């Protein structure tokens, strides 16, 4: 997925998205212009979506909205939006990666706005690598132990790399895309760079790894990795009609590579597990996101007294939708039942199955 975001529009950012748990809540989302309750879905492990969600947490919450965040796999998330149980999803990859979901649910959803214009699947190497193009891998299988380090087997990235890219460049007899997890791939990348060893990994833009490591993409002259997607904010049907003010802000929302990469890096490294602190530091160097006026409503102050911090929201788990991570919980300032994701079902501490649980089964062969 490629870092080519355009700079954030002034009017987009005077909001704050309070990350709180709604999976065990009893109230439905949606409800007209005066409704200040918004439910946002997020997929654990997708760094760009987590970063955008945490940022809008701050922005919408400071605007007086009560925002519940549901952690769901991709399929259940789209299904939940189609039923009106989820209002927004900030990490919809279209037209390619999430094509199947859009075909199935698109008539019950609406595109609110696009915030990242070029999000490709990539094959990356350290800057010191002599490789410049995927064509350069030919004849070098022995040098790289015949492997390109991949992520989850269920991911679209694995499917494209193994089934499309390798045959296109005549590499199927020399290389294999290994499967593990996104975290394991990044660990191998980190170790190889620290030791100045050769390595080839599957990646995507946007991703915080491009801000942390000296890496670059191999050129793909045959276009075997597919055309870049656009990352959209997608809403349930009639979201724009019910929440015209928020929809207007989201339509103007943009981030560039540096902004997104630095926020992801803070969240995934310096403040891992403490996203609210990552946003605190990020806003110090990106103050326009908190101070620019929105639609003449004045400025949102960026000072500790002006920010109402929600309690921590923990992001954990693999990137692909087929195997939801354990112990993904969210809490809000108000007392709510704790939610955990386990074996594909969303359960409440009270023993009830939440509304989101109805959509929590995802086919294992669905890509990213």
Residues of the chain with CATH 3.40.190.10: 10-118+228-359
Residues of the chain with CATH 3.40.190.100: 121-217
Residue 153 reports pLDDT greater than 80: no
Cβ atoms within 10 Å of 86's Cβ, excluding its own: 33
Is the CB of residue 46 less than 8 Å from the CB of residue 156? no
**Percent of the chain beyond pLDDT 90?**
45
Write down the pTM of the prediction. Answer: 0.62
Residue 313 reports pLDDT greater than 60: no
Distances in whole angstroms, Cα of residue 338 to Cα of each of 22, 47, 331, 351: 9, 23, 7, 10
Q: pLDDT digits over 295-306, tens only?
A: 333 333 333 333
CA nearest 325: which of 344, 305, 299?
344
CA dist 268 and 266 (Å) reads 6
Residue position matching structure tokens 């923990």 = 314
Q: pLDDT digits over 6-30, tens only?
A: 333 333 333 333 333 333 344 444 4
Distances in whole angstroms, Cα of residue 357 to Cα of each of 75, 80, 84, 103, 183: 12, 9, 14, 22, 26
Q: Helix, strand, or coil here: 232?
A: strand
CA dist 351 and 354 (Å) reads 9
Query: Regarding predicted confidence, which is higher, 57 or 142?
Result: 142
Cβ atoms within 10 Å of 194's Cβ, excluding its own: 9
Tell me what pLDDT residue 285 has: 85
Tell me what pLDDT residue 29 has: 43
Tell me what pLDDT residue 34 has: 61
Residue 310 reports pLDDT greater than 60: no
Q: pLDDT digits over 39-86, tens only?
A: 999 987 788 999 999 889 888 988 899 999 998 888 889 999 999 999
Distances in whole angstroms, Cα of residue 67 to Cα of each of 6, 29, 63, 87, 95: 26, 10, 11, 10, 28
Is the CB of residue 367 less than 8 Å from the CB of residue 154? yes
- Span 182-201, mean pLDDT? 95
Tell me what pLDDT residue 236 has: 97
Q: pLDDT digits over 159-181, tens only?
A: 889 999 999 999 999 999 999 88
Rounded to the nearest integer, the mean pLDDT of the chain is 75
Residue 281 reports pLDDT greater than 80: yes
Residue position matching structure tokens 């008539």 = 107
CATH 3.20.20.10 fits 121-217, yes or no: no
Protein fold of 10-118+228-359:
D-Maltodextrin-Binding Protein; domain 2 (3.40.190)
Is the CB of residue 249 less than 8 Å from the CB of residue 15? yes
């Amino acid at each position: 997925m490629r870092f080519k975001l355009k700079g954030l529009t002034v009017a987009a950012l005077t909001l704050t998205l309070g990350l709180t748990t709604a999976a065990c809540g009893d109230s439905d989302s949606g409800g007209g212009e005066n409704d200040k309750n918004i439910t946002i879905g997020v997929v654990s492990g997708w760094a760009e979506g987590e970063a955008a969600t945490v940022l809008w947490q701050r922005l919408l919450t400071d605007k007086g909205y009560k925002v519940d965040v549901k952690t769901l796999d991709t399929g259940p998330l789209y299904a939940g939006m189609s039923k009106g149980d989820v209002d927004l999803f900030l990490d919809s990859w279209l037209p390619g990666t999430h094509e199947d979901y859009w075909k199935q649910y698109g008539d019950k959803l609406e595109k609110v706005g696009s915030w990242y214009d070029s999000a490709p699947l990539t094959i990356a190497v350290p800057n010191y690598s002599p490789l410049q193009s995927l064509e350069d891998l030919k004849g070098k299988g022995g040098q790289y132990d015949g492997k390109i380090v991949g992520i989850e087997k269920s991911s679209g990235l694995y499917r494209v790399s193994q089934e499309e890219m390798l045959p296109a460049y005549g590499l199927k007899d020399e290389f294999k895309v290994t499967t593990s997890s996104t975290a394991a791939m990044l660990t191998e990348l980190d170790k190889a760079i620290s030791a100045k060893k050769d390595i080839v990994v599957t990646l995507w833009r946007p991703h915080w790894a491009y801000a942390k490591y000296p890496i670059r993409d191999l050129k793909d002259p045959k276009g075997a990795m597919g055309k870049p997607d656009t990352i959209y904010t997608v809403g349930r049907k009639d979201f724009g009609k019910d929440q015209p003010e928020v929809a207007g802000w989201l339509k103007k929302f943009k981030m560039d590579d540096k902004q997104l990469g630095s926020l992801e890096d803070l969240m995934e490294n310096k403040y891992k597990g403490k996203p609210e602190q990552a946003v605190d530091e990020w806003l110090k160097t990106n103050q326009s996101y908190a101070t620019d006026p929105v639609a003449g409503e004045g400025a949102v102050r960026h000072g500790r007294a002006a920010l109402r911090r929600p309690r921590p929201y923990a992001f954990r788990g693999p990137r692909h939708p087929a195997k939801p991570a354990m112990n993904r919980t969210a809490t809000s300032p108000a007392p709510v039942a704790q939610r955990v994701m386990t074996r594909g079902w969303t359960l409440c501490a009270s023993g009830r199955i939440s509304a989101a649980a109805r959509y929590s089964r995802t086919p294992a062969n669905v890509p990213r």
